[in-house]
Amino acid sequence: MKNLYRFSLFSAFSGAVLIVAGGLVKSHEAGLSVPDWPLSYGEWMPPMVGKIFWEHGHRMIATFVGFLTLIMAFWTHFSKGASPKLKSFSRILVWLVILQGVFGGATVLLNLPPLVSIAHGVLGQIFFSALCLFAYDVHCEADPLQLTLSAEGKTRLEKAFRLARVTLFIFLFQLLLGAATRHMRHLHIALTHTAFALVVVTHVILVYLRVAHLELKDKALSQTAHFLLAAVMLQVVLGAGSLGFTQLMARMQDPSQAQIVFTTFHQSLGAGLLATIFLLTWMLAKRVKAIR
């Protein structure tokens, strides 16, 4: 299982690269630089010039991640140490990556309709989160949890899990607002997304405090909560920069380098935050299950 775990980590890392690549396509407004799909100008490898570089490069990385997902699913299915649940999870990943590919093709063939583009962006981040959760599950298969807590410690753990679960749904709603802001560019949506960030930050702080006061001294939980808190603060800064460049300043025909940097990293860190709250909630759920 160790080799499968390493491969799952590499797949998750490749998924992160794909998220950044997708963000760069949108930031450069390169989504229609290649008008056909699945080929690019009728070729497997068109000249990588201008905006074609970003769009076709994104497609190449997406294809690579798709193959990694298929390999991982077959590997898991034939692995003697993999549980039935892990095998089912690997099959879900395959269906997710196929659906994401279909959405990606539809965005091009339908000329970037906002709703399809939003669905493509949201599903991409959920798929990345699923890759991270799968890697964690592979790790847990090799090293199962064994916990002993007092009655009060169990209560604190269950409360932390419930709060993290609520926070996860808040993150998903914020992700939807962010995708709508990115693809629809309406100021009122952007301002709603910005205002709702206060709710997100508040819940992250509350989750962090709940985890910090657990009776369970769990290094992995603590590190994940610390990263979540630090990353959400950085995300606020990137969000402010993105709002300034895309909504409050006059837009030029081509986006500036500063706008590209802020918007791409804001979107990419958002995907990282979603994966982190998914992971933290998943970790707490497994620990709650272990004490019951």
Say what the pLDDT of residue 111 is: 87
According to the 3-state scheme, what is the secondary structure of the chain?
CHHHHHHHHHHHHHHHHHHHHHHHHHHCCCCCCCCCCCCECCECCCCCCCCHHHHHHHHHHHHHHHHHHHHHHHHHHCCCCCCHHHHHHHHHHHHHHHHHHHHHHHHHHCCCCHHHHHHHHHHHHHHHHHHHHHHHHHHHHHCCCCCCCCHHHHHHHHHHHHHHHHHHHHHHHHHHHHHHHHHHCCHHHHHHHHHHHHHHHHHHHHHHHHHHCCCCCCHHHHHHHHHHHHHHHHHHHHHHHHHHHHHHCCCCCCCCHHHHHHHHHHHHHHHHHHHHHHHHHHHHHHHHHHHC
pLDDT of residue 235 exceeding 70: yes
CA 180 vs. chain centroid, Å, equals: 16
Please compute the mean of the pLDDT values over residues 205-219 and round it to a whole number.
90
Lookup: tokens for 147: 């916990």
pLDDT digits (tens, 9 = 90+) for 86-109: 999 999 999 999 999 999 999 989
pTM, entire model = 0.92
> Is 90 exceeded by the pLDDT of residue 47?
no
Average pLDDT over residues 132-158: 83
Residue 40 CB neighbour total at 10 angstroms:
21
Domain ranges of the chain: 1-144, 150-292
What's the pLDDT at 8?
96
Query: Residue 254: its pLDDT value, please?
Result: 64
Tens digit of each residue's pLDDT (9 = 90 or more) over 179-191: 998 888 788 888 8
1.10.20, 1.20.120, 1.10.1220, 3.30.70: CATH of 150-292: 1.20.120
Q: How confident is the model at residue 247 (pLDDT cuts 50, 70, 90)?
A: low
Residue 159, pLDDT score: 93
Q: Which amino acid is at 234?
A: L
Identify the band that residue 15 occupies on the pLDDT scale cut at 50, 70 and 90.
very high
Using the predicted structure, report yes or no on whether residue 1 has a pLDDT greater than 90: no
C-alpha–C-alpha distance, residues 81 and 130, integer Å: 20
* Intrachain domains 1-144 and 150-292 with the same fold: yes
Give the residue-averaged pLDDT of 121-136.
96
The pLDDT of residue 122: 94
State mean pLDDT over 207-222.
89
Average pLDDT over residues 126-145: 89
Distance CA 192, CA 210 (A): 27
**The CATH classification of domain 1-144, taken from the options 1.20.120, 1.10.510, 1.10.3470, 3.40.50:** 1.20.120
Over 90: is that where the pLDDT of 196 sits? yes
pLDDT of residue 63: 95
Instruction: Reply yes or no on whether the pLDDT at 82 is more than 60.
Output: yes
**Residue 227 confidence (pLDDT):** 96
